[in-house]
A = this chain, B = another copy of it.
């Protein structure tokens, strides 16, 4: 590491977060591990018994979003949806969750109750059971109202499940809806931007939609990824890196709400880097793309699904020519040109989830 102290950029979900994990945390915590960056670990309760299917997905996520309540959601809904989605993107059906609170002295009990009600409602919506929890309290000035950790267990629905490393040249890249809604809604609330129209976070549990997709389209689904911190740009970079492929995104195809576009222009954000909490990137065999989009559009959360890009082989310059020998992400712009999509770096939007 070039720095000896932690900065907010280390938590932004972009380049510095990746470096912190790769250079500091992984070498110690799992020196021999494959360092898979998938959102959930896959473990097997009966590894030695091929007759029994005990494959589980296991994931954890802490939520530190500020403010605690924002248009379209709150930290409670975010905490449930985030963990449900991390299980769903590895092809697992979310079953059980834990909720761990780190609360700051002085928090209003009523605020805690509102957050609990939201957790409960979102868990019911997602069909997941909250089975265990923990509550800690820190002194005033050592927290920020409420931080939540949720961990989750799911049952694997398919083998092999979708994984970041399974994208193949020729695959279609699909986004399940408009991008940047969550980050834009939170930052608008934080900056007290008065918006004429109602911009809301997209935060939602995607278990039913993604489980249905995996059950229907099976092995044709190569990668699922929820583009949270670091947005669509970081999600595509993670896929490109893990699969050693190039990803070409089509700017014209990408669905962006006009309010989100306005906020990004106002504050100087690249919408590709803005967090989503109710969307998924789907990489699938190109011949299945029509069926995948069709299935997604039949669901409430996927009604705006579109093909927004494709996977290219490293070294293949027939379609895009930038950095041909590297697993990069390239945007075909509205004007028909090509732009390298940088790996998000710096603070981006701190404490967005």
A→B interface (CB under 8 Å): 1, 3-8, 10-12, 17, 20-21, 24-25, 28-30, 40-41, 43, 45, 52, 54, 56, 58-64, 95-96, 98-110, 112-113, 116-117, 119-120, 129-139, 141-144, 147, 149, 151, 153, 155, 350-351
B7 touches A137 (CB 8 A): yes
CB nearest to A130 among chain B residues = B29
Shortest distance between the CB of A51 and any CB in chain B (Å): 9
CB nearest to A38 among chain B residues = B132
A60 touches B98 (CB 8 A): yes
Candidates B5, B54, B106; contact of A106 at CB < 8 Å: B5
CB nearest to A10 among chain B residues = B137
Shortest distance between the CB of A225 and any CB in chain B (Å): 16
B20 touches A98 (CB 8 A): no
In the complex where A25-B135, A137-B8 touch, is A109 in contact with B153 (Cβ < 8 A)?
A: no
CB nearest to A21 among chain B residues = B135
Residues from chain B with a CB closer than 8 A to the CB of A30 are 130
Bound form: Cα–Cα A45–B147 in Å: 29
Bound form: Cα–Cα A52–B141 in Å: 50
A41 touches B109 (CB 8 A): no
Q: How often does this chain occur in the complex, in copies? A: 2
Bound form: Cα–Cα A351–B149 in Å: 18
Bound form: Cα–Cα A101–B60 in Å: 10
Shortest distance between the CB of A182 and any CB in chain B (Å): 16
Bound form: Cα–Cα A119–B30 in Å: 11
Shortest distance between the CB of A230 and any CB in chain B (Å): 13
Candidates B45, B129, B351; contact of A56 at CB < 8 Å: B45
A119 touches B29 (CB 8 A): yes
Bound form: Cα–Cα A188–B168 in Å: 58
Shortest distance between the CB of A119 and any CB in chain B (Å): 6
A134 touches B61 (CB 8 A): yes
B59 touches A132 (CB 8 A): yes
Residues from chain B with a CB closer than 8 A to the CB of A3 are 109
Residues from chain B with a CB closer than 8 A to the CB of A12 are 137
